[in-house]
Structure 1
Amino acid sequence: MGYGVKDVLRMEVAPALGCTEPSAIALAAAAAASLLEGETAEAIEVWVDPNVYKNGLAVSIPGARGASGLDLAAALGVFGGDPYRKLEVLDTVDDQALATSKRFVRAGAVSVHLVDDRQGLYVRARVSAAGRTAECTIQGVHDGITRLTLDGEELPDHPLLRRTSGEQESLQELEEWLRTLSLQDLLDLLDDLDEDDLAFLEQGVEYNLRLAEHGRKYGPGLGIGLGLDRLVRERLLQRDMVLEAKILTSSAADARMSGVKLPAMSSGGSGNHGLTAILPIWAVKDFVAHQSKREVLEAIALSHLVTAYVKAHTGRLSAVCGCSVAAGAGATAGVTYLLGGNHHHIAGAIKNLVGDLAGVICDGAKAGCAFKLATAAGTAVQAALFSLHGVNVQATDGIVGASPEQTMQNLGTLSCVGMIETDHTILRIMLEKQFDLD
């Protein structure tokens, strides 16, 4: 199909402001509202698949001063969002838009519906105003606008559609291509990185470091990163490359999950995946002598490639924590590469990581994700170090396969087939808890 590393970076790595599920809801609502040409919205309806519902239920929304909720995300998209900014749709939200959105939600003008039999990422938003109705549908990927209608009539030539429909088809083809590759093929792609690619990879580091620095300084959310840093200062923990990876990555997650208005460079459709794919490698570089900037960026590129490979098998959203097993696999591949490991060592590190973290569930996006990112980051470094010293999980163990490719494919089977009922159970528990809290 003629794809290369530049295509993977272009389609799988992008800036995202806040958790991508509330952002997708805000994007759909903002796109629908934009069709009404300035009319003041009177009602908003939203339909979402179970995984979008699960991931958007409790996480803080950028610009919302710690507030959360699928209904509020939709209202913010309508009253303050810019759909042409895609997953940075909420970057334009101000205090006035927040106040208006909260009043709108309190008035009961936003309804959210769970489409519990829907497979794959799905968001549909309907906005009504002055006797007119506009709808936007997002499918497949968080910013994949596939349908726009105004008063029931489709708008096939709308520029928001032109920017996304072709991209989604290309992404599906890219994922098909990725599934045919081997780990060696992914390593070979690093030879094709050019200066533009390296500059883009460095920009991703800068985005995610800003989040980490904010989290480390102010301790938002649960303050996991700041807490670990404090334990080092109190000499209760010793700073090493494993702990530094945990501190840096969890600090960024603390900031992002608390709604800090700073974008993350995502990977595989998720901002938290991007934090896990990039920051452990950046943390490790300070413990390694004689590594050039290009080698560090190559390691990060490999991390994105492996993350995309795993996501091509597991799907965008599932009951398995992708930050742990997809971005974690990418991170351990990148760390091993940076530490001088060869194909054999990288393969072993991926199998070690999967053998350790395959059971981590995704129970929605929330402040507590910082715990899981800390675990994924630290385990990614540990798995690499073990592999470099000849410690490898064997193919006789659980879902670990004889090769890294088979291991990652087994993850896909576990995620897409074996965890369906688990996903339903997780959402049911969350909904019952939400009802009790209300």
Structure 2
Amino acid sequence: MLALLFKNFIRSKGTKIGLLFLFIIGFISLLIGKQFQEKQTKNITEATVYQKGHIARNASYHKDEIGLLLYYIKFSLINKTLPINSLAIGQRDVNPSIQSVTIRGLEAQKYDSELNNPSNLLLGNIDFSFVLVYLFPLLIITFTYNIVSEEKESGTWKIVATQTKNTFSYIIKLFCIRVLSLIAMLTIVILIAVFLLNIPLDKSLFIFYTISVLYILFWFAVCFYIVSLQKNSSFNAVILLTIWLFLIIILPAIINTYIVNKYPVPEALELTVKQRNAYHEKWDMDKQTTLDKFYKHYPQFKNYVLPDKEFSWLWYYAMQQMGDDESAIQSKELETKLKQRNKASQTIAQFIPTLHTQIQLNEIAKSDLGNQLLFMQKTKEFHEKKRLHFYPKIFNNTAVDQEKWSNFKVETFNDISNINFTNAFVPFLFFNLLLISFGWMNFRKEKQII
């Protein structure tokens, strides 16, 4: 019986077209992921080569003053891009994966990013997570909305009922065939991704695949419940598409509006302007006042006295430091509000499987807001380490050629945060079991089915 039902399902021209369309779109998403991966690799390679040449070139130009040399030199920190990131690009298309900073004011440099076409950023990338979250449900709806109603409307259901001992078992078999077909399609695309994108067969990929399967099962559970209401095909199609529209587009937009209004953040541009104004106004202030504030921040540098001349690098870098210090409140506020947004979205998403799927896939791929916040924190630590290393050399006017500039390599930040299995899987299991249970109870009420 199962083999016959599968042959009948797969012979349908609509089924073949639907599966082929999904496979083609899935493969295109992998090619887009490959393109993104190659771009990231190219950027990292270029940053590594550029920093080496950039430091050597400036060191040869500015041999007399190390303070002047460090005004120009940039040091790069890379946010490691995992191969699986190509499946869920997330925020990596708008937030830079490489931060190149001088030891001058950090706040004016933190939010520098690549120039991108704003139209492309608005539309986003058609990565695999997009195909999974948006397109798989549409095909599931197409395959299941009339799974019983079509036969009732065509008058063949009575024949099925007389030839089948348990019609509920028959319906389950129809659903199982479609579930296995979509999971098989998912598996094929993931296997192609493993070879095409060089994704290692590790825990991250296993969790990514498991969440994808649970997401597909969620939509089958939704369809199972709607079919169990025993309505006509038109009703099923309309209500399922309405649910899709609500869960995929309307509800996320409402939640985003709520979070943005509840946790308003200061603009990065406003923060940058604040830092620059705080720095520039120091040119018109008493130099010793600036130095006193600098000593308060770094008491270990109190032994460096302001020289009796118009300009000194001690005073200049103290001004740069004060620019960061006086914008620290706004910087901390921005960081706190972004963390609150991230936490709120994760909490709310526990009750919305579509949002939960997208957030979890991005977390696995290290392309979520949490990863970006960690990278910004690491950039701050990286910048501070460079400052503390060079400040004594600048204030002592150490000879440029005494520093081994070739030792300064591009550094890499590796996000080692783990996925919480309970938070990742429990929402899916809860909603899937709930919908299946309600659907099963509805079928039991129909005497002609059980």
Higher helix share: 2
- Whose Rg is larger? 2
Higher strand share: 1
Q: Is TM > 0.5 for Structure 1 vs Structure 2?
A: no
Higher relative contact order (CA 8 A, sep 6+): 2
TM-score w.r.t. length of structure 1: 0.26
TM-score w.r.t. length of structure 2: 0.26
